[in-house]
Structure 1
Amino acid sequence: KMHFHELIVVYLFHYVHCFSRNANYLKPINAASPPDYFDWRDLNAVSPVKNQGSCAACWAFSAVANIESHIKIHLGQSLVLSEQFLIDCSVERTGCKNSTVLKTFAEIVYQFHGVLQESDYYPYSDRAEECRWNGINPKPVPVIGFRRVFPDEAVMMKYLYQYGPLSAAINSASMLNYKPNTIDEPTEERCSSSPDALNHAVLIVGYNTYVSAEGRKTPFWIIKNSWGREWGDGGYYYLVRGRNACGISNDVSFSFVD
């Protein structure tokens, strides 16, 4: 197994720029106000944390985690889908290099018409391989659409509560030194919110607000990462909410399953 500091050197060398300016935004919904606290893990709707290792395929892990959650929420099925399938069979032959979650969703919906289960392909190998799917069989698990969410954290809360976890691009600079069981409150200088600084993809599964003994309130996102359970809080990351920290609201999307 590659140690975390080694993973970071390899991962940032590849530099995954998970952002696209071309997708249409999904406008705010007129839903009831979401509760003060919500976490899809409480409803057993989040699949286990995975480890992308030295392969810079955050886009595949974020997209697959999103689809796994939405299948559980909307279809009641617990499936393990294949990141390796996406890495190997991407039309652009992206492999362990640059791509975006939105491009991945587009390929899944319009090219593959879904995602293969891990049991129907090959286990994750931490590297790009030749595509071993013939385009017909096995049949992919259907994914029928995807949408990009309006870049506003209050809107994101509504969509997360109403539909399910959200894939998000993020500047990972502050994640590299994250201390478990803390809420990360990086300055703009330490972790730019610029769209051009986005270099990683994660899954937002919930939100909460921490209240200190002095009464100071710190709202935060609950974020599933793909650097293994040894990183962060069992693979999770808590990021301050409401100030677009590290660009968390710039590029947010989710899938539709059937």
Structure 2
Amino acid sequence: LVIFLAFLAVSEAFKTDSVAEFLSRPAPAFVSKLRGQDLADYVNAVQPFFRANYSKASEERAKQLMQLDTVVPNGKILTTTTVPDIPESFDAREKWPFCKSLGFIHDQSACGSCWAVSGASTMSDRLCIQTKGKDQTLLSDADLVSCCHACNPAGGCNGAWPYFAWQYVMTNGICSGGYPEDENVCKPYPFLPCEPHVGQPHSPCPADGYKTPACKLECQSSYKTKYQNDKHYAESAYYMPAGDVKSIQTEIMTHGPVQAVFIVYSDFPLYKKGIYVPTPGAKEIGKHAIKIIGWGVENNTPYWLIANSYNLDWGEGGYFRMVRGYNAGNIEGWVSAGMMKA
């Protein structure tokens, strides 16, 4: 403990604003063993990029990650010509303000469905963008979670790879969805938010998380359209060239948000605000799928603008920013998307 406290004091004096310098520093062996408040204190002491905050909620959310050994499927890699003038900042919500789905933040609750939630959200955005706002359908993450049996050996609430979801929707389609209380949709998300949330009273989360719901090829009784008649289909599925930041930016500017998966380190569940830069030495604890909607620069640090699925009271209003151009957690290596049939 004495050595740890002494290290904190020294680290505070040697903070750097350079991401490259920070990431190149050797990590003390004890960092991988830090948990809870000790880890938050360490993270806040050694770097200026983001603020860490420990809470019971951070522990709960760490339980709902994809496993580190989640299958990464091979797939088509998009060949793209990059836009010559990529702006310093971009926000899909500002380019396509008529697409309401771009402003929605979802809550995956106590289910490892990040792959499906971010997938259905990205598909909804792209459907709206492709139809120039004429089709505002929110597509069903519940349909993917319960019925995509080919989405990885685990699938459902146990996690799966986003590319599988796009392939599934090409063949099987996806029905309309929405929040748990929505009645005028085919399959709303089945799980309500559960504790703990800031200022939002909810029921406790199940100790072992929610189980994958059974696949039902029908809509809820309040919705009168037949399941098969409610489907939208994807026309294509592809990966972006690994590590090609400009290609990823071009894709977002041209066709809308993309999905990405990154390795989650033990400091990520503690994220409160700022630009997330993984702390050297932090332990790998899982993988997480999210939706990238844009990018920017703050204090000379480039970042991705990302929509998460942890509700509005997490991070920066449900969003977070992650360092761009360093392939942190391989976030620029596992980017996928597709086009919808519109």
Instruction: Give TM-score scaled by structure 1 length.
Output: 0.85
DSSP-derived class of the 1:199 partner = strand
Q: Which residue of 2 aligns with 1:128?
A: 212
Counterpart Cα distance in 2 of 1:41 and 1:9: 28
Cα gap change, 1:17 to 1:236, in 2 (>3 Å): farther
CA offset at residue 124 of structure 1?
Answer: 2.4
Give the number of the structure with larger relative contact order, counting CA–CA contacts within 8 Å between residues 6 or more apart.
Answer: 1
Contact preservation (8 Å) 2:156, 2:212: yes
Flag structure 2 segments of 5+ consecutive residues without an equivalent: 1-55, 178-184, 192-209, 219-225
Deviations 1:195-232 (A, max 9, x none): xx861100000001113xxxxx1111000111111111
Secondary structure in structure 1 of the residue aligned to 2:160 = coil
For the 8 Å contact 2:82–2:247, the answer to whether it is kept is: no
Task: Write the letter of the residue equivalent to 1:85.
Answer: D
User: Equivalents in 2 of 1:29, 1:17: separation in Å?
Assistant: 33
C-alpha contact 2:157 2:212 (8 A) present in aligned 1: yes
Change (3 A) 1:79 1:127: farther
2:48 is matched with which residue?
A: none
Unaligned runs of at least 5 residues, structure 1: 212-216
Could you tell me how far 1:94 is from its partner in structure 2?
2.3
Q: Does 1:84 align with 2:142?
A: yes
Q: Which amino acid aligns with 2:156?
A: G
Aligned to 1:26: 78
Give the superposed CA RMSD.
Answer: 2.3
Equivalent runs, 1:133-172 vs 2, <5 Å: 133=217, 137-151=228-242, 152-172=244-264
Residue range with higher mean Cα deviation, 169-178 or 53-62: 169-178
SS of residue in 2 equivalent to 1:143: coil
Deviations 1:1-37 (A, max 9, x none): xx6235325314x637566251121123143322111
Shift of 1:41: 1.5
Residue 88 of structure 1, CA deviation: 1.1
Letter of the 1:128 partner, please give it. Answer: T
| Alpha-carbon contact 1:165-1:206 (below 8 Å) kept | yes
Identical columns (%): 23
Q: Is the 8 A contact 1:219 1:241 kept in 2?
A: yes
Are 2:176 and 2:230, in contact at CA under 8 Å, matched by a contact in 1?
Answer: no
Cross-structure match for 2:170: 109
Matched, 1:177 2:235: no
Give, in whole Å, the separation in 1 of the partners of 2:276 and 2:188. 36
CA distance in 1: counterparts of 2:270 and 2:82, whole angstroms: 38
What secondary structure sits across from 1:130 in the alignment? coil
Q: For 2:68 and 2:136, how far apart are their aligned partners in 1?
A: 29
Higher strand share: 1
Q: Distance in 2 between matches of 1:219 and 1:131?
A: 42
1:68 correspondence with 2:152: no
| Counterpart Cα distance in 2 of 1:253 and 1:120 | 26
